[in-house]
Structure 1
Amino acid sequence: MKVTVKVEGLRDLDAALSELPKITTAKAVVRRVLKKAAEPLRALAEQTAPRLTGALKISIVIGTKLTRRQARMARKEPKSLTEMFIGTSNPAAVPQEFGTHDQKAQPFMRPAWQATKDQVLTNIGNELGPEIEKTAARLAKKAARGG
């Protein structure tokens, strides 16, 4: 299951990102912020994941890539500046999360998202501005050195 979230009201931060000299620098800033902001979601999902062997728990990650199977299943939509994915690469997670005709669902990702989504979105808003400022200061310092 893919959840897309649209956050509004960050126009000033978007303008500040566009002032960074390279698109790759802006992407790196956004990725750092998204990864840090999503950590509470990952931690809660890991904590609430059913534990038979422990493999499901350790497979919950935050990243920019999907597995080949997940990428095939994902709908092709216009890409944004950067995307971050939180989930598991373990195929056993799907029947665990949604259940089967023989197995009752034991969701762990959806409840974790419901419990932490406000915190995650607030973290993005709170962390993005300072991260842009730190990056701009690093670039200015580097330019002053002649690098």
Structure 2
Amino acid sequence: MSVTVRLEGFAELERELERLGREATQKASLRRALKTSAEPMAAIARSLAPNDPATGAPDLANSIAVSTKLSKRQRSQHRRMFRDDRASVEMFVGPGPDPAAWNQEFGNINHRAQPFMRPAWDQDKDAMLDRLKREIWNDIQRTVARAARRAAAQAARGS
């Protein structure tokens, strides 16, 4: 099953990111916006993840996070899937490296599927993209304002 998402405003976004100057500052701004925007989706996934109180901690729900990091196996899979894609910033939402998470999401011969990530995406994708748009613009504006204040303070000290 494929999903189509329509995104607009990248030329404007690129122009605004250029105002931030250094590439590291641009990436940090995008990472902050992505993490903030994706956290509500992770919360939905946590609420949908099956939880067996008899097993005690750590539970699948507790392992769901928003992060730039992947496990060694996940990194390997990701590199194979996106070998030629050089995204400047990536953020991942999902459970940690526990292989049982796949069995919960997709099921197996002995265990029925109990999806939690796909329903979270389906439920929150439009709202998440709206949050992301707002967060990116807000973070860029805050970062530009901070840089302007810093430059003004530096100019005042230098004069």
**What's the TM-score, normalizing by structure 2?**
0.84
Tell me which residue corresponds to 1:60.
Answer: 64
- TM-score (normalised: structure 1): 0.91
CA-to-aligned-CA distance 1:82-120 (integer Å, 9 cap, x gap): 000001112210010000011110000000000000000
Is residue 117 of structure 2 the alignment partner of residue 88 of structure 1? no
Aligned residue for 1:8?
8
State the Cα deviation string for residues 58-79 of structure 1 (Å, max 9, x = none). 1000011111010111212322
Question: Number of paired residues?
Answer: 145
Q: CA deviation digits over 1:9-40, x for unaligned, max 9?
A: 33212210022111010111101111111111
Task: Name the Cα RMSD after superposition.
Answer: 1.9
Q: How does 1:100-119 map to 2 (within 5 A)?
A: 100-119=108-127
Of the two, which has the highest radius of gyration? 2
Q: Offset of 1:5 from its aligned partner?
A: 6.0
Counterpart-to-counterpart distance in 1, 2:13 and 2:150: 22
Percent identity reads 43
Give me the whole-angstrom Cα distance separating, in 2, the residues matched to 1:50 and 1:71: 25
Structure 2 residue ranges without an equivalent (≥5): none
- Give secondary structure in 2 for the equivalent of 1:50: coil
Matched, 1:31 2:39: no
